[in-house]
């Protein structure tokens, strides 16, 4: 370190000798070298850029010749993938030497802190040093955690504050209301909790407010209505509750209002109609509003997208509600309790491109034109209603893609009945359809959570999530920060359980993969890990999958890792890959909520026992994974003590064959076969399924009683 300091001083001596000492202040230049040294991997940066404002510039550093001083000053530092890859070194940190750059106007560090844990210290912003700072961006830094320091209020001239896609926690400090020049506030995709502070109403110049994808609670503060310059509000994917404040109706410059995926209740204040001047996007989906379709919608004449999916809407769609919305391109009213007929005016809106009315109780004849139905194609979804029909033959004969999503009969068909396309209309709780749900409800207690006796489905794509419940499975990777991010994303997305895979410290020898040099095609990625730059497999002379697992999976996984996982989530944890009673007991001692008996599809190790033969080894509640193809398989697993089963191949095959509809059909087949097996076995409920219903090869011979 002493050598580095001496080296930097040497550069300063040469620099001032060449430029007469008037080009830039030495203390400021030395501060820049220290800041870049704490961030960049390149130890020669100072040597290569001794005059960053003149002769040796660097694209991430900008200078200005300020009138106040008549010399150059550092005004911008930007590090991100567009400048250098990777942007920062693994041990990157924010140096206190930033305070030696008093004329800094922009500080932007994107995807910079990915490995070493880092938090924002209170002392970083405590002084009045950053009086020139206007733009502060700390974005996509997974290892940046801790609270937002209240000292951030000292950045009096700040216009943009972007701290999205980090791992920040705690409450939004009320002192943020002192940033009276702020025009853009983005704290999205973090773990922030508590209320939105009322002091936010002091940000009179604010145009963009985005605090989506956090854990914010309580009500939307009425003071937001004082921010008359607001153009975008995104409060989606939080835990906000209660009714919306009437003051929102004052925001006549608002273009986008996204309040989706919260716990907001109706009714929505009627004076929201005051937003008619500019509002183009109104997204309310997945809130328990439990109201009729708001009458003020017809006055929002500039609307382009409107979504009330899964909001518990009831009543009819009035014929004149949408007639004035000629700019509307997308309308989503699915997963509600709407009844009556579908207004023909919806098919006359000139810019309509996406219409979803599925999973309601709509009835009568669909009066959309042939041109409208063909134009929308798959973007027209009216499945699973109470008795819709059409006299237009196109969807049934000439247009396969439309037929798949319309799924309604001809009104003139002899097989038509008033409930011919009804599958979910009898479900009274529509607002829950967008959240993970369970197929069967039973009662099984554990030390962490009430787990249901279910047929459980591993997550595939969105179509699968809509068709059945899902449990998120993870392997503990070498980088715990990545694991923590995956867990937090699972919590925010609404998953109810974390399933930890414990039987893959190494991948089994899959000779077909090795022979074929298996790897994902370049156009496919591991989507769940793509945002973490772990979504692709490198092609090798071996198996790409085996190499990927070898690089990423933690081979030293032990029960202490389960304890650590419990410290970062409140979700119940299941361990997947247990085959012996000894391991099951150790898992329970570690505090897991349940066991998943699994042999990894028999692809890890040859000659392992079938999962159904291992069920009776445990004396704790267990789930079974593997070998479930038909309804009787579910019955046998429950009879042998399983609390539920997991399925993989049946839903994957169904998904490949017919998308969401295929998955639903596969689940329905399992349901119907299981129900029939129960009936033929004399079981009126799941509780009546017992070990006595099953004879296994390892049972002692039974003596047939004499009559």
Phi and psi at residue 482, to the nearest 5°: -65, -45
Q: Which residues contact 405 (CB under 8 A, 6 or more apart)?
A: 377, 378, 380, 381, 382, 383
Structure tokens given for 154: 């000292």
Strands 330-332 and 305-307: parallel
CA distance 687 to 37: 65
Q: Whose CA is closest to 71, among 17, 29, 24?
A: 24
CA distance 169 to 155: 21
H/E segment holding residue 406: helix 400-406
CA distance 311 to 268: 12
Whether 600 is catalytic is yes
Phi-psi region of 226 (alpha: psi -120 to 50; beta: other; left: phi over 0): alpha
The runs of H, that is alpha helices, within 57-155 are none
CA distance 270 to 24: 59
CA distance 537 to 498: 24
Active-site residue, selected from the candidate residues 261, 396, 600, 671: 600
CA distance 590 to 348: 61
Asked if 630 and 613 count as a contact pair (C-beta separation under 8 A), the reply is: no
For 28, the 3-state DSSP assignment is: helix
Q: Give CA separation, 477 vs 80, 85, 89, 534, 672, in Å.
A: 25, 23, 20, 11, 39
Counting other chains too, the contacts that 459-463 makes at CB distance below 8 Å and 24 or more residues apart are: 460/651, 460/652, 460/655, 460/663, 461/655, 463/655, 463/659, 463/660, 463/663
Beta-bridge mates of residue 171 = 193
Asked if 133 and 158 count as a contact pair (C-beta separation under 8 A), the reply is: yes
Structure tokens given for 595: 């066991």
Question: Active-site positions?
Answer: 600
């Amino acid at each position: 370190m002493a050598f580095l300091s001496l080296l930097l001083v040497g550069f300063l001596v040469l620099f001032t000798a060449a430029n007469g000492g008037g080009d830039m202040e030495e203390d400021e230049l030395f501060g820049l070298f220290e800041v870049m040294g704490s961030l960049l991997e390149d130890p020669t940066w100072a040597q290569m850029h001794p005059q960053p404002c003149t002769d040796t510039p660097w694209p991430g550093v900008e200078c200005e010749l300020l009138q106040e001083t008549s010399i150059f000053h550092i005004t911008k530092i930007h590090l991100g993938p567009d400048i250098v890859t990777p942007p920062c070194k693994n041990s990157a940190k924010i140096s206190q030497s930033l305070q030696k750059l008093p004329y800094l106007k922009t500080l932007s560090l994107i995807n910079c802190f990915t490995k070493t844990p880092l938090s924002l210290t209170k002392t970083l912003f405590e002084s009045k040093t950053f009086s020139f700072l206007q733009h502060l961006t700390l974005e996509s830094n997974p290892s940046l955690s801790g609270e937002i320091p209240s000292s951030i209020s000292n950045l009096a001239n700040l216009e943009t504050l972007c701290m999205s896609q980090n791992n920040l926690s705690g409450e939004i400090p009320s002192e943020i209301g002192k940033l009276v020049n702020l025009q853009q506030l983005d704290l999205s995709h973090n773990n922030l909790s508590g209320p939105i502070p009322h002091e936010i109403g002091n940000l009179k110049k604010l145009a963009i407010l985005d605090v989506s994808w956090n854990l914010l609670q309580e009500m939307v503060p009425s003071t937001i209505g004082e921010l008359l310059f607001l153009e975008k509000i995104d409060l989606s994917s939080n835990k906000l509750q209660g009714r919306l404040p009437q003051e929102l109706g004052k925001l006549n410059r608002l273009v986008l209002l996204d309040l989706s995926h919260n716990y907001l209740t109706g009714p929505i204040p009627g004076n929201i109609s005051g937003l008619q001047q500019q509002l183009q996007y109104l997204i309310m989906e997945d809130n328990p509003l439990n109201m009729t379709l708001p009458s003020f919608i017809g006055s929002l004449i500039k609307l382009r997208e409107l979504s009330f999916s899964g909001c518990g809407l009831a009543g009819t769609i009035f014929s004149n509600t949408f007639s004035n919305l000629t700019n509307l391109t997308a309308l989503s009213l699915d997963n509600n309790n709407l009844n009556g007929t579908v207004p023909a005016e919806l098919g006359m809106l000139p810019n309509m491109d996406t219409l979803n009315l599925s999973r309601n109780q709509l009835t009568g004849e669909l009066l959309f034109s042939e041109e409208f139905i063909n134009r929308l194609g798959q973007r027209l979804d009216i499945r699973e209603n109470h008795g819709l029909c059409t006299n237009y033959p196109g969807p049934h004969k000439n247009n396969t893609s439309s037929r798949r999503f319309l799924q309604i009969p001809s009104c003139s068909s002899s097989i038509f009945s008033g409930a011919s396309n009804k599958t979910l209309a009898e479900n009274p709780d529509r607002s829950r359809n967008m959240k993970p749900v369970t197929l069967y409800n039973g009662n099984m207690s554990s030390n962490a959570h009430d787990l249901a006796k279910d047929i459980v489905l591993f997550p595939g794509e969105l179509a699968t999530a809509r068709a059945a419940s899902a449990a998120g499975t993870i392997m503990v990777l070498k980088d715990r920060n990545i694991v923590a991010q995956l867990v937090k994303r699972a919590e925010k997305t609404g998953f109810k359980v974390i399933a930890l895979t414990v039987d893959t410290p190494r991948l089994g020898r899959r000779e077909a993969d090795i022979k074929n040099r298996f790897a994902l095609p370049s156009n496919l990625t591991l989507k769940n890990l793509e945002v973490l730059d772990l979504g692709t497999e490198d092609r090798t002379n071996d198996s790409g999958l085996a190499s990927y697992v070898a690089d990423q999976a933690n081979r030293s996984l032990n029960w202490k890792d389960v304890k650590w996982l419990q410290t970062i989530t409140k979700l119940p944890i299941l361990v997947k890959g247990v085959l012996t009673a000894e391991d099951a007991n150790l898992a329970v001692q570690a505090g897991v909520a349940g066991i998943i008996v699994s042999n990894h599809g028999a692809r890890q190790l040859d000659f392992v026992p079938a999962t159904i033969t291992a069920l009776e080894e445990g004396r704790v509640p267990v789930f079974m994974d593997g070998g479930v193809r038909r309804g009787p398989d579910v019955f046998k697993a429950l009879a042998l003590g399983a609390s539920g089963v997991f399925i993989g191949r049946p839903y994957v095959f169904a998904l490949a064959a017919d998308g969401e509809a295929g998955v639903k059909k596969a689940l329905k087949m399992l349901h119907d076969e299981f129900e029939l097996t129960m009936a033929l076995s004399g079981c009126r409920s799941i509780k009546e399924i017992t070990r006595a219903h099953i004879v296994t090869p390892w049972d002692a011979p039974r003596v047939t009683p004499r009559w």
